[in-house]
Amino acid sequence: MFYFDYAATTKMSERARETFMEAAESFYGNSESLHDIGTDACAVLEKSRDLISSYLGIPAEGLYFTSGGTEGNLLAIVSLAMGASGRGKHIISSMAEHASVHSALGFLERLGFEVTRLLFTEKGTVDVKKLEAAIRPDTVLVSVQHINQEIGTIQPIEEISLMVRRRGILFHSDCVQSFGKADVARMIPYVDSITLSSHKIHGPKGVGAVYIHPSCVMAPVFPHLSHEKGFRGGTVNVPGIAGFAAAVEEILIESERDWEYRTALKEATGGAVVFIEGERAMQLPSIVGCMITGVQGQLVLLECNKAGFAISTGSACQEHHEGGSKAVEAMGYPKEAADQFFRISFGRHTTKEEIFSLGERLKQIAAVHRVGTAR
């Protein structure tokens, strides 16, 4: 099949796979064990931590390894909110965050926190003025993703930071979709915490990381644990983390190529597809939110799949749940439009020939199934 679902996951690179297998074979010890085998595993763990921290330009002591982006968001948001709960219990986020962020916020609401969830502008970004208006004296945390997982819009992180951090409000950003595709290191000075995932950058699945600035006060979700300085429990996945670090060393951001591919896809569809996107300066080119007017997104996915093209109808973490695209609804589209949403995402191994072939297939689907005319 032709793979156009890079935003969901990526194939492990040869280097990451070889590093993973070597670590699994040679450094299989528990990194907390005090014997030499455990010490060797710990050395690999810390070397990986140093490498990823160096890439991001952050202190290594602030980087905690997790099982992936979902656990990272859950632990970071809850830990930061609980650590700041003595000052207040109000949190601000957006309506189009990843499902794991909504899960963490829902958990905190059951503990007595209040959450304000903001809509997007028609260009797919958080309205900074509305965010400022939502700030209260008891606001302790803002959580806004760096790049939306459905439509690829880049959120105004610097503007939000300047607004909230001078008020002493903590700022967390889910960077799972941006890491390896955009310059995440550039935004580090503007946030208190970020979440990363290995399998989005051709590393192993089941591995991720959270960075929390060492100056932040946090309350671990589960107390009295020893791994990762008590941030999370469970034996650390040293081979997976080594593979993650190897994948980080291979990161190559190809924005110009991705914009060329995005433009080629638009041309190939010949106006049959509605592209849901932001301003160019606020858009990641490799995540493409789409609709064919009058055609359910699920039908487009199935028709593409039959022809050998793997696309999606949104975030894989909510793929089998009803409700359409959160981002599209947050932008003010009606529910029926959200149900027509599908996502195309390309990456390292995508070719221009594949782009043109997909565009032709989408034109065929529109011609057979469309009701009305694409806007």
Mean pLDDT, rounded, for 205-214: 97
Structure token digits, residue 71: 């656990």
Nearest in space to 327 (alpha carbons), one of 366, 297, 367, 357: 297
pLDDT in tens, 46-78: 999 999 999 999 999 999 999 999 999 999 999
Q: Which residue has the tokens 């589960």?
A: 222
Which pLDDT does position 225 carry in this prediction?
79
Alpha helix (H) residue ranges in 188-322: 238-249, 255-269, 297-306
**pLDDT level of residue 324 (50, 70, 90 thresholds):** low
What six digits make up the tokens of 52? 């990823």
Residue appearing with tokens 């916020």: 105
Q: How confident is the model at residue 367 (pLDDT cuts 50, 70, 90)?
A: very high
The rounded Cα 296 to chain-centroid distance in angstroms is 25
Q: Which of 42, 175, 290, 317 is catalytic?
A: 317
134-172 pLDDT tens trace? 999 999 999 999 999 999 999 999 999 999 999 999 999
Question: Catalytic residue at 304?
Answer: no
pLDDT at 375 over 80: no
Average pLDDT over residues 253-267: 97
Computed over every residue of the chain, the mean pLDDT equals 94
Confidence of residue 315 (pLDDT cuts 50, 70, 90): low
Q: Which of 282, 306, 375, 286 is nearest to 337 (CA)?
A: 375
- Among 11, 139, 10, which Cα is nearest to 80's? 139
Q: Give the rounded distance of the alpha carbon of 97 from its chain centre.
A: 9
Query: Is it the case that residue 348 has pLDDT exceeding 60?
Result: yes
Contacts of residue 356, defined as CB under 8 A and 6 or more positions apart, other chains included, come to 264, 268
For residue range 222-237, what is the model confidence (pLDDT) as tens digits?
887 778 888 998 899 9
- Domains 2-9+253-369 and 14-249 belong to one CATH topology: no
Domain 2-9+253-369 maps to which CATH number in 1.10.1270.20, 3.90.1150.10, 3.40.50.300, 3.20.20.210?
A: 3.90.1150.10
The pLDDT tens digits for 188-198 are 999 999 999 99
| Residue 91 pLDDT level (bands cut at 50, 70, 90) | very high
pLDDT digits (tens, 9 = 90+) for 265-285: 999 999 999 999 999 999 999
Residue 374 has pLDDT above 60, yes or no: no
Residue 220: what pLDDT? 87
- State the pLDDT confidence band at 323, using cuts at 50, 70 and 90: very low
For the chain, the structural domain boundaries read: 2-9+253-369, 14-249
pLDDT, tens digit, 9 for 90 and up, residues 17-27: 999 999 999 99
Task: Specify whether domain 14-249 bears CATH 1.10.540.10.
Answer: no
Distance CA 328, CA 338 (A): 6
3-state secondary structure of 283: strand
Does pTM top 0.85 for this prediction? yes
